[in-house]
Amino acid sequence: MIKPIELIGQAIKEGRLSLNEAESKTLLSQYGLPIVEETVVVSEEAAVAQAQVMGFPVVLKGLGSKLTHKTERGLVKLNLWSVEDVHRAYHEIQASAGADLEGCLLQPLVLGRREFVAGLFRDSQFGLVVMFGLGGVFTEVIKDVVFRIAPLTEIQARRMMEELSSRILLDDFRGESAVDKEAMIRVLIGLSRLGMEHPEIMEVDINPLLITPRGEVTAVDALVVISPIESSAKDDPSRKEPTREEMEAINSALEVMAHAKSIAVVGATRSRVQGFSGMFANVSAFGFPGRLYPINPNTEEIDGYKTFPDLVSLPEPMDLVIISVPAPMVPEALKDCIASGNKNVHIFTSGFKETGEEEGNRLQAEIEKIAREGGLRVLGPNCMGLYVPESRMVTWAGASVEKGPVAFVSQSGGNAGDFTSYAASRFGIYFSKVFSYGNALTLDSTDFLEYLSHDDQTRIIAMYLEGVKNGQRLLRQITEINRTKPVIILKGGLTASGARAVASHTGSLAGGEKIWKAFFRQSGAVQVDSLEEMTDVTLAFLNLGESRGQRVAVIGTGGGIGVAAADGCAKVGLDLPALPGATMNKLREFIPPAGNMIRNPIDAHIVFLELDLLGQSLDLLSTGSTIDMFVLALHLDWFSENGTGKQVEKIAHYIAGEARKRTHNLPLVVVWRQYQPDPDIRQSRIILEQILLKAGVPVYEGLPRAFLVLSKLAEYHQFQRQLKL
Amino acid sequence: MIKPIELIGQAIKEGRLSLNEAESKTLLSQYGLPIVEETVVVSEEAAVAQAQVMGFPVVLKGLGSKLTHKTERGLVKLNLWSVEDVHRAYHEIQASAGADLEGCLLQPLVLGRREFVAGLFRDSQFGLVVMFGLGGVFTEVIKDVVFRIAPLTEIQARRMMEELSSRILLDDFRGESAVDKEAMIRVLIGLSRLGMEHPEIMEVDINPLLITPRGEVTAVDALVVISPIESSAKDDPSRKEPTREEMEAINSALEVMAHAKSIAVVGATRSRVQGFSGMFANVSAFGFPGRLYPINPNTEEIDGYKTFPDLVSLPEPMDLVIISVPAPMVPEALKDCIASGNKNVHIFTSGFKETGEEEGNRLQAEIEKIAREGGLRVLGPNCMGLYVPESRMVTWAGASVEKGPVAFVSQSGGNAGDFTSYAASRFGIYFSKVFSYGNALTLDSTDFLEYLSHDDQTRIIAMYLEGVKNGQRLLRQITEINRTKPVIILKGGLTASGARAVASHTGSLAGGEKIWKAFFRQSGAVQVDSLEEMTDVTLAFLNLGESRGQRVAVIGTGGGIGVAAADGCAKVGLDLPALPGATMNKLREFIPPAGNMIRNPIDAHIVFLELDLLGQSLDLLSTGSTIDMFVLALHLDWFSENGTGKQVEKIAHYIAGEARKRTHNLPLVVVWRQYQPDPDIRQSRIILEQILLKAGVPVYEGLPRAFLVLSKLAEYHQFQRQLKL
């Protein structure tokens, strides 16, 4: 049997970019893929003779390395029932293909109405990707396809089938048997293995992958695209897998930077009264307790600090050098770093690859070369660098000095400041380490993740990502880290027109939406859509325990809440189950019927006036087996209209204390709504939030935000439970 | 030729619930639908003989009124190429169908890979609905179907084709010709006409509706379901089309109620210090200037008003009677209305159909009978009735006394109060008339719309709908009204689990999501998802002129804005076009390159510091032909960090005055973001909003809300332009 490497080698030697159908199938069959029984014939006589041996009906297809779009060119003849049919088909194929015809493929006609497609290709960020979907002539019409980043596990192959919209075709369907799912899994895993073992294979397309009426899987047609040049990933140092030593060196460098005792700012300027104060003034103003050196050859002193003309003149090596000179001067500044033995660098300056212009690209290539050759560890360029409250280190104004358990890894400097300020001031969420790394010259998100995975002060990792250089490493890391430290990701540039802006912002290529979707499904990372959503979700993960399922009970006030709760839950995939009759009967023992609905939502003002009734309700629902999570919804205007504003504070204390105990550790969040401008109510809302947040009870404005958060929590825990199975 | 009515009549006489395939096709062909040439054969010999006349290949199908699921039962034999094939097929059909076989249908085999489905059915709210979609065996798998409420116009039939996800199958596809679209339109309109003319037809299902390789349309299989009982719509008085006289009578009644000079509250109580104050106290507290009568037989006086024991004792007839007694007492109260000659009634009381319980249903049926027999005009039950600032009339606390150009028709009383309070206090949006009508005993949304269509004080109509009784009337009305007064609708209970809550809330049956989608597509009404979104959109429609397209320019500040703007636009279907090179060159004449991006977004602090540059930018972009709408995005923290908080006020004045002029009437909205808790910035935001709102410039928190609003505005105007074509 011919070896795969020989098949591919032969084709490359002949200068071909693909294997022909017969070669493709030979290769696939060696990876365990079920191929339709077939034979190559090179003459009309042979075709007829072999067809008689095979038995009718048969299929005849033209073969030839230059023959593409076979169906459209009439080179595929199905439904041949007789010797005459085969003669005619051979003639027609010859006429159409002309000199390009190298022979014909003869197959028995495989019957089956269910056609799928499977394949693989190489993505610029994630490398090898396996594809599965609805096939046949309508593949591009329906576009029902799912992806997985290789290598593929059996569980993931199974999930691919489950995620297909047309998955019911895989079950018993209109008198035809359910597909042999184990065989289908072998196809997908075989593809993954083929791609992993042969980097010279760029693409495989099996269409149709036919399901027979008995449920058998058969590859009827297949194409393998090859390339003599191996994937460029291997040559790009930023995509290379780091060795253990390299990782340890980077970890140590990041640890030194995050706890820097000495910082030099190259291009330090005096702080301005108006406009951005600059790197030096911001670091200084935040109260950095270490030794801070301004580098500026044009002045003696800046804000009371003695300046130095360059890094070489400094009295000691720096834990961190911040470069804030104009872009054309950055190469010299980096050389100065190397000359002075300073390897830990943050380049604040912009004007590189993110401009999308020639000069910016050239400058970035230049500084990358300098940095790599000099062994520099670079944050940036085009970023805000480090924010570490514990070390009193930040480069922007308005950051909180409090430290906390959340890390943030952000490709955007603006988002680094916005998210941390908003999370701190709105919800009292504080940070351990924040890395803003912009164009990722030598250090990428994967390096910060590696460091944070070992950081005991970090319990949750939030990320703003636009692109990634080594997607496979990112996937491996996040899958592992996410088991113990939830990873919450805002992916910018998911949409087609978003991708252009990403290129302009940090100069990285954003991946296709469907592949990032696969990334989230595989890693179990929590995907959010905005900084506000990231804040909401972080608050929940910080404070809530495991969610055992998706069934929510809403206890609240207000006429429209029933419909709003039902629509809101359905929108994010949560259940709002009607309570069982027995439960409703028990509720009715202490909740009077007049004006109080108890089907779920429980729409009953009385439980917020007589708070022990709220406790009893929570007790009852959380000890049953029909509810997994709680939303308590307060329509604050109601308490105002009814002269019971003070009641809000009592409710807050009750929830913070007693009510929470009576949920028996089921997740509980509070929602408030306020439509009237009453200042008393505004004040009561502020008190409500203070009391609840202090006690660790997440509190949100409006039902939709709460439902979204709970749906993410439930998905996260469900994913983690499945991993343990 | 047998007439449709005879065909159907015969089937009904025989007690059948459907026509057989041959009858169905005969009927459809009489409405102009292209039917495959076919013949009925009742013996094996006839089948063979006819097949030879017809020419091979042929198709043979078992016929019989009891024969369903023909494919699964093996009663459809395709691909018969010879006399032997026909013999064998006939035998097999006989064996499978047994005594139920009434004959066979013989057809030529129609070739074609493109299978569609078309049909009609009757919806409980919207009546006759026409359906079109991807057909064949995968119809239920792919679920690519669209609907239209009949009667269908040619434009709508064309839109149905355009809305299909798999619409590319209708064009030239893989060597097969584009479908004859005019023929397809005739099919859809023919179905609509058939359904309109024959109310005894409940359902038609044509599957497959085949497209031949030459693009011809042919109905290969069809089923017509009939019912001897005509649609119940005709018997239900609430679904009946009102006569002109009835409409005028209702309009007059609503005009009297909305400008009531005399109101009686049946079941008036003293206002309470705590808890809901009650109808009487709320009407009184709002400053109702007319004559207000409490009805309560148990006391002499309420809050200084002399009480009356019943309506008959009153000194004059009432413009409006509000009923606020417990549910079991409502029938008597209604009888009192009739006895005293009072016909305009608002029933506040709940406990009727919305409970979903037997007693509630019974009570509602009882009061409906009383109300209809007595000719009462009833708002409610289970609702808040009227809010008319001009008449100083409202039934809840906290409403604004200001009047304005927006009407609100709300099935939920809670939403009536919440939306109007929020819109007024947040954005200064005020109201002309608000109708909260709950269970819609005799007056439904369609009655209020009819009234509002003539109301000069109403420029925009907002609605919260759960269900509707006469959906066809609603569609006709809104399509018409929406041309001059934009209609903005929040539809509650769109989702499956939402539907249950709707039933419990107002006792009406919510329609399926896809039919409501058709309703929005046909009427052009603006669909929103929440009260907050309704407020945002109302603000825009009140203040912005026509949008000529979907191309947005964003001028703003902040690093992450590029990606966020691109992702945000794409999410709602807006374009964020890159500016042409010539435009960028002109911008570069006054915007320096350092730190300022100008591709769109224009990310340039300088235009907010030197405001004439903002004016110049707007001038340039609005006089080109590449931009249709503007978003100005202010990152308020930036102004704080940079000591330029006062600048925000200047910006606001500039936008409110000069900048707006320089947009040349293109829609412009302002967005602010604030992530830091700085109180100065909070104050500058409040001033910003005040200045802009006073000048009629919509202002929102965050880009997503602005993009959503602009997408709705653009869709609305595009729809209206197409109507005029």
Residues B37-74: tens digit of each pLDDT: 889 999 999 999 999 999 888 999 998 877 877 777 88
Residues A704-716: what's their mean pLDDT? 98
Q: With an 8 Å Cβ cutoff, is B113 touching chain A?
A: yes
Which H or E run includes B209?
strand B201-211
Give the three-state DSSP class for A320.
Answer: strand
Distance of CA B151 to the CA centre of its chain: 17
CA distance A725 to chain B (A): 30
**B353 vs B36: CA distance, rounded Å:** 50
Positive or negative CA dihedral for B399, B402, B403, B407? negative
Which positions in chain B touch A636 (Cβ < 8 Å)?
none
CB contact under 8 A, B274 and A498: no
Residues B437-441: what's their mean pLDDT? 95
CB contact under 8 A, A643 and B274: yes
- The per-residue pLDDT for B456 is 97
Given a cut of 80, is residue A109 above it in pLDDT? yes
- When CB atoms are compared, the residue of A174, A276, A498 closest to B71 is A174
Residues A442-468: tens digit of each pLDDT: 999 999 999 999 999 999 999 999 989
CA distance B583 to chain A (A): 17
Which positions in chain B touch A532 (Cβ < 8 Å)?
702
Given a cut of 70, is residue B471 above it in pLDDT? yes
CB neighbours of residue A274 within 10 Å: 10
Q: Which of residues 278-307 of A touch B (CB under 8 A)?
A: none
CB contact under 8 A, B675 and A166: no
- The per-residue pLDDT for B645 is 59
- The per-residue pLDDT for B505 is 39
Q: With an 8 Å Cβ cutoff, is B142 touching chain A?
A: yes
Residues A616-644: what's their mean pLDDT? 87
- The per-residue pLDDT for A275 is 60
CB contact under 8 A, B560 and A414: yes
- When CB atoms are compared, the residue of A142, A168, A560 closest to B415 is A560
Question: Which residue, among A203, A197, A64, has the nearest Cα to A131 in the 3D structure?
Answer: A203
Given a cut of 90, is residue B644 above it in pLDDT? no
Residues B207-222: what's their mean pLDDT? 93
Question: Which residue, among B21, B88, B111, B100, has the nearest Cα to B61 in the 3D structure?
Answer: B21
Residues A532-551: tens digit of each pLDDT: 999 999 999 999 999 999 99
Q: With an 8 Å Cβ cutoff, is B335 touching chain A?
A: no
**A218 vs A105: CA distance, rounded Å:** 16
User: β-strands B602-603, B552-556: how paired?
Assistant: parallel
Given a cut of 80, is residue A237 above it in pLDDT? no
**B28 vs B219: CA distance, rounded Å:** 9
Residues A575-628: tens digit of each pLDDT: 999 999 999 999 999 998 767 788 899 988 889 989 999 999 999 999 988 999
Q: With an 8 Å Cβ cutoff, is B599 touching chain A?
A: yes
Please give the structure tokens belonging to residue A113. Answer: 């109405």
Please give the structure tokens belonging to residue B312. Answer: 């008959």
Q: Closest chain B residue to A355 measured between Cα atoms?
A: B597
Residues A473-517: tens digit of each pLDDT: 999 999 999 999 999 999 998 765 544 554 443 333 334 788 899
Q: Which of residues 74-93 of B touch A (CB under 8 A)?
A: 81
CA distance B531 to chain A (A): 10
Give the three-state DSSP class for A217.
Answer: strand
Q: Please give the single-letter amino acid code of residue B22.
A: A
Residues B660-694: tens digit of each pLDDT: 999 999 999 999 999 888 888 888 999 999 999 99
Which positions in chain A touch B273 (Cβ < 8 Å)?
643
CB contact under 8 A, A563 and B466: yes
Given a cut of 60, is residue B231 above it in pLDDT? no
Q: With an 8 Å Cβ cutoff, is B261 touching chain A?
A: no
- The per-residue pLDDT for B238 is 65
CB contact under 8 A, A138 and B166: yes
Given a cut of 70, is residue B303 above it in pLDDT? yes
Given a cut of 60, is residue B500 above it in pLDDT? no
CB contact under 8 A, B563 and A466: yes
Specify the higher pLDDT residue, A153 or A233. Answer: A153
Please give the structure tokens belonging to residue A552. Answer: 């929510």
Residues A388-438: tens digit of each pLDDT: 999 999 999 889 999 999 999 999 999 999 999 999 999 999 999 999 999
Q: Which of residues 643-672 of A touch B (CB under 8 A)?
A: 643-644
Q: Which of residues 166-195 of A touch B (CB under 8 A)?
A: 166, 168-169, 174-175
CA distance B35 to chain A (A): 25
Residues A222-242: what's their mean pLDDT? 72
Give the three-state DSSP class for A23.
Answer: helix
Q: What is the ipTM of this complex?
A: 0.90
Specify the higher pLDDT residue, A715 or B230. Answer: A715
Please give the structure tokens belonging to residue B695. Answer: 């000048």
Q: Tell which of A675, A689, A693 to mutate to test the B interface (max B CBs under 10 Å).
A: A675
Burial code of B36-49, b = ≥16 C-beta within 10 A, e = fewer?
Answer: bebebbeebebbbe
Residue B104: phi and psi, rounded to 5, are -135, 155
CB neighbours of residue A491 within 10 Å: 26
User: β-strands B103-108, B58-63: how paired?
Assistant: antiparallel
Instruction: Band the pLDDT of B509: cuts 50, 70, 90.
Output: very low
Residues A295/A265, Cβ–Cβ less than 8 Å: yes
- Partners of B552 in the β-ladder: B629
- When CB atoms are compared, the residue of A141, A144, A642 closest to B276 is A642
Residues B540-561: tens digit of each pLDDT: 999 999 999 999 999 998 666 8
Specify the higher pLDDT residue, B644 or B529. Answer: B529
Specify the higher pLDDT residue, B98 or A478. Answer: A478
- The per-residue pLDDT for B274 is 55
Please give the structure tokens belonging to residue B619. Answer: 């001038």
Q: Which of residues 445-474 of A touch B (CB under 8 A)?
A: 464, 466
B151 contacts: CB under 8 Å, gap ≥ 6: B128, B192, B193, B196
How far, in Å, are A555, A634, A699, B248, B710 from residue A621 at the CA level? Answer: 11, 19, 21, 53, 44
**A556 vs A603: CA distance, rounded Å:** 5
CB contact under 8 A, A563 and B675: no
Q: With an 8 Å Cβ cutoff, is A673 touching chain B?
A: yes
Taking one residue from A and the other from B, the number of pairs with CB-CB distance under 8 angstroms is 224
Query: How many alpha carbons fall within 13 Å on the CB side of residue B566?
Result: 27
Residues A656-702: tens digit of each pLDDT: 999 999 999 999 999 999 988 888 888 899 999 999 999 999 999 99
Residue A11: phi and psi, rounded to 5, are -65, -40
Which positions in chain A touch B676 (Cβ < 8 Å)?
398, 421-422, 425
Please give the structure tokens belonging to residue B633. Answer: 């995005």
CB contact under 8 A, A418 and B702: no
Residues B525/B603, Cβ–Cβ less than 8 Å: no
Given a cut of 80, is residue B276 above it in pLDDT? no
DSSP A578: P
Q: Which of residues 366-425 of B touch A (CB under 8 A)?
A: 396-398, 412-415, 417-419, 421-422, 425
- When CB atoms are compared, the residue of B113, B141, B397 closest to A168 is B141
Question: Which residue, among B377, B479, B420, has the nearest Cα to B720 in the 3D structure?
Answer: B479
Q: Which of residues 9-48 of A touch B (CB under 8 A)?
A: none
CA distance B195 to chain A (A): 30
Q: With an 8 Å Cβ cutoff, is A199 touching chain B?
A: no
Instruction: Band the pLDDT of B511: cuts 50, 70, 90.
Output: very low
Residues B113-145: tens digit of each pLDDT: 899 999 999 888 899 999 999 987 778 888 889
